[in-house]
Chain A
Amino acid sequence: MSTPTRTPTGAPAHLTGPGSGGVGDDAQRPDGVLKVRGEFAYGSDLWMEDMLWGVTLRSPHPYARILAVDTSAATQLPGVHAVLTAEDVPGEKVYGLELADQPVLAVDVVRYQGEPVALVAADHPDTARRAAALIRVDYEVWEPVTDARAALGHPTRDALHESDAEVTELSRESAHLHPEGNLVRHLKVRTGDPEPTADVVVVGEYEVGMQDQAFLGPESGLAVPADDGGVELYVATQWLHVDQRQICSALALPPEQVRLTLAGVGGAFGGREDLSMHVHACLLALRTGKPVKMSYNREESFFGHVHRHPATMRYEHGATRDGQLVYVKASIWFDGGAYASSTPAVVGNGGTMGIGPYVVPNVHVDCYGAYTNNPPCGAMRGFGSVQTAFAYESQMDALAVELGMDPVELRCRNAMEQGSTTPTGQVIDSPAPVAELLRRLEAMPLPSTGDGALDLRDMPGGVSNTTHGEGVRRGVGYAVAYKNVAFSEGYDDYSTARVRLEVIGGEPTATVHTAAAEVGQGLVTVEQQIARTELGVEQVTVHPKDTTVGSAGSTSASRQTYVTGGAVKAACEAVRAELLARAELLVGRPVPDLRLAGGQVVSDTEEVAVPLVDLLGDEAVEQTVQWRHRPTEAIDPETGQGFAHVQYAFSAHRAVVDVDTELGLVKVVEMACTQDVGKAINPQAVVGQIQGGTAQGLGLAVMEEILIRDGKVVNPSFTDYLIPTILDMPPMRVEVLEYADPHAPYGLRGVGEAPNISSGPAVLAAIRAATGLPLARVPVRPEHLTGTC
């Protein structure tokens, strides 16, 4: 088989430097200097001399039958090299992360606005766009199904207030967006008394809008046809091997002919778990015989990836007079949109962790994921746990009011701790400092109330000069949350690491090769730190991420430092064992405490100092290890019981807000966060994750929502979909706790998602405290605060 001969400008190279920092240090990123010089090549920066540009023609309708497609005018436009439709997909026409139900290019029917229908490759991106506009598609437009509960055969939301909402077989059969019906998954949790009673009962209904990952680097990549009839794909993604599996299926090519390399990734947050332009660029490259680059613009990006599931939730909490939770009943509906994506797993999280980090003896949860004609929803940071946290934390506040109890006290009285049993019957077997996280927040000083000179910039509305303090009320709110780390419910979750140690330029140098996607979080730094600590060397090179090494699993579920970190550690240990065995041979006797440090094999008890440079000579020692965390198990389909999750991450937030109650404007004054991370492998990066996660949670609470009207997206741009700016983000206090999880490498806990879950509910609680309004929907809009909606 011939090997690829062409490499695009900007193809990822080995990352070296900065040359110091082991586990626990604030080591600098090996890609940091490249990034500040503008030399780090993202997917959209790749370039080849004779490359073409690919664009996608998408459906303008959320639900329609395709009657005819006429590509002749587009094909004839000068500069156009190929126009493709579903007929040109040589392999399986559908793909998907968990269920293969999503067409590569629409077949007969489109099920959401923005569904890809045709592709064009041309020598200039604008030529390609003009050609796409010349493709004539005749549609028979159908009325879209846009409500998740309606899709499941339920009464609509208003009627539902009067009725129970059980999914029956009948309602399931009446659904029809997909052959199997509209129910993607129904998860049940049943524990304790099915008919519990309590002194005090609070009931609430809550709604969470559709959030976008809004990563800044657009979906992009470059496909290069190879001499062997295969294709090289350089792409910004989250899991190279699951992409490869789906691409092979669509192209009808074996894995050895579909080779992927990670291009620079400009943020991900779950939005790159599903395929976007991957198969499309490969199809165009294979058809034209030329490299094809695709890079979405912002509007297309809003249609080109899945979003966070909107949710409607009904909760009932029962407690004793002294604030002990007796029961929780919850019904949770996730709108999965037109295709399954990761809806089954989102339902898994939403259902199993849907009552929050509390001990409750009687639990009855139904969690549903439904197909509709809304945009497909799937993974986003927090993954099914973000939505429920708004509901269960709102319920805890409502219960505190009902009981006349302090909301932090109520939470602490019911908090999970090590040894507690979850609603799914799992005993928490590592630290769970839920109460301590809250108590530490409470102990932090509150920001001043600004009795100094008036500064408009501190006011809600800022320099718009909408208030000088009149009508402004301050509120403080707390929230705590938990989230599973790594893949759950019996999934075979592993990572592969190849570690090589050799002498380069007179220095022992380790090379770490994994396929784990670096998306900005700093995994490449962690890989270097672990290798430095385990091998006692300074120089560690990070190999480009590609499919020439085994799968690392997904960069999601806060799992890579745990799982790929564990794999790198294990591979280093294998390399080390080989080196120590060689050293013993050299020394000529067994030495029990040989270890690697400072580029040497040393012993604390005997006079041994063998430089690695001498031990290795011209040889390299290389080990490849596949590493797994301890297995989880599938949950019981009727009761939800089982060892579903390998680890939990816990975080808590306190939010302080000022609300202009006349105009409905919110200024978040301060956010404080406490989080247990087990062990901070890179403290600076850990704090960065907490701050960034806090911002995304704040965004969902007060501004971020993809607005859908009749199945169509109203605001697909950064002009109309707002994410927090530096003016919207307040100063943050962060306190990191390190209670080791004895089951995890170095005792670490996944970090990235938990702070994204607890921050929004704290902001919502603070706005409620400021206004006295019940506020059951996020994002909170001005009209919710002024009563003018």
Chain B
Amino acid sequence: MRLTCTVNGTEQQVDDVWEGESLLYVLRERMGLPGSKNACEQGECGSCTVYLDGLPVCACLVAAGQAEGRQVGTVEGMADADTLHPVQQAFVDAGAVQCGFCTPGLLVATHDLITRTGRPSDAETREALAGNLCRCTGYEKILDAVRLAADRMGADR
């Protein structure tokens, strides 16, 4: 089938999509956007979190056809050219990136959290990011990064 959707503000059209393919597969293998990661492919780890019409979803659980005509936002669309988004910069500065495989999904989830809540409490952050597994950091520096990003984004408002 043919799939047309808007990814990071650019219209994308791909052909020969098999109906069984997920949005994650199409992004990674057909659109050249491998930033969203394939750690579990069953919605448990959050590594493939993307925006679909403004809501964070696990791209592995979205059939490619469901994205027809919709807006998709991935980690590749976060930075403004060479300038990292404050959420991205905070993850780098706080040391919240080790192997980095969970990072793209956590960035999207954190971006959504701060956009919704402004300055989340630690308890709110833990609830909001409970669907994003990280095996390297023990999460302490991810919490540091969320606080840092929220402070910086708050200061920008």
Contact = CB atoms under 8 A, between A and B. Distances in A.
Contact of B98 (A44, A126, A218, A692): A692
A751 to B, nearest CB: 13
A260 B67 CA distance: 38
B101 A691 contact: no
B133 A216 contact: yes
Contacts of A692: 98, 135-138
Given A719-B42, A727-B127, A41 B139 contact: no
Contacts of A215: 99, 101, 135
Contacts of B126: 457, 726-727
A31 B100 contact: yes
Contacts of A269: 135
Question: Interface extent on B, as a size class?
Answer: 35 or more
Interface string A124-139: 1010000000000000
Given A215-B99, A718-B42, A726 B142 contact: yes
A695 B100 CA distance: 17
Nearest to B88: A36
B107 interface: yes
B150 interface: no
A455 B95 contact: no
A684 B28 CA distance: 32
Interface in B92-139: 92-93, 95, 97-104, 107, 123, 125-127, 129-139
A37 B38 contact: no
B76 interface: yes
A556 to B, nearest CB: 15
Nearest to A295: B38
Nearest to A36: B88
A216 B37 contact: yes
Contact of A519 (B44, B74, B99, B143): B99
Contacts of A45: 28, 34
A37 B79 contact: yes
Contacts of B104: 36, 38
Given A726-B139, A731-B140, A216 B41 contact: no
Contacts of B35: 37-39
B75 A520 contact: no
Interface in B12-57: 18, 20, 28-29, 32-42, 44-45, 47
Contacts of A29: 92, 97
Given A36-B103, A691-B140, A727 B40 contact: no
Given A10-B34, A726-B139, A35 B41 contact: no
Contacts of A719: 42, 44
Interface residues of A, number: 64
Contacts of B75: 36-38
A560 B76 CA distance: 32
A413 interface: no
B65 to A, nearest CB: 15
Nearest to A697: B138
Nearest to A267: B99
A728 B133 CA distance: 11
A85 B10 CA distance: 45
Nearest to B92: A32
A691 B44 contact: no
Given A723-B135, A729-B139, A36 B129 contact: no
Nearest to A463: B127
A521 interface: yes
Interface string A257-289: 000000011111100000000000000000000
Contact of B137 (A10, A519, A691, A727): A691
Residue picked from B36, B132, B139, B142, most chain A C-beta under 10 Å: B139
A520 B136 contact: yes
A214 interface: yes
Interface string A11-54: 00000000000000010110111011111111011010000000
A126 B36 contact: no
Contacts of B95: 26, 684-685, 687-688
B135 A691 contact: no
B39 A522 contact: no
A5 interface: no
B107 A216 contact: no
Contact of A727 (B84, B103, B130): B130
B101 A266 contact: yes
B117 to A, nearest CB: 15
A694 interface: yes
Interface in A243-267: 264-267
A297 interface: yes
A298 interface: yes
A695 B139 contact: yes
A10 to B, nearest CB: 7
A163 interface: no
A687 B89 CA distance: 19
B99 A266 contact: yes
A124 B30 CA distance: 12
B123 to A, nearest CB: 5
B135 A216 contact: yes
A574 interface: no
Contacts of A213: 135
Residue picked from A29, A38, A693, most chain B C-beta under 10 Å: A38
Contacts of B98: 267, 520-522, 688, 692
Contacts of B93: 28
Given A36-B107, A717-B44, A726-B132, A267 B137 contact: no
Interface in A456-512: 457, 463
For the complex of A and B, the 3 pairs showing the least CB-CB separation, nearest first, are: A38-B35, A520-B99, A266-B101
29 contacts: A29-B92, A32-B100, A36-B97, A37-B35, A37-B78, A38-B74, A39-B35, A41-B34, A42-B101, A47-B32, A126-B18, A216-B45, A216-B102, A216-B133, A217-B99, A264-B100, A298-B39, A520-B99, A688-B138, A692-B138, A693-B138, A718-B40, A718-B42, A718-B45, A726-B130, A726-B132, A726-B139, A726-B143, A727-B126
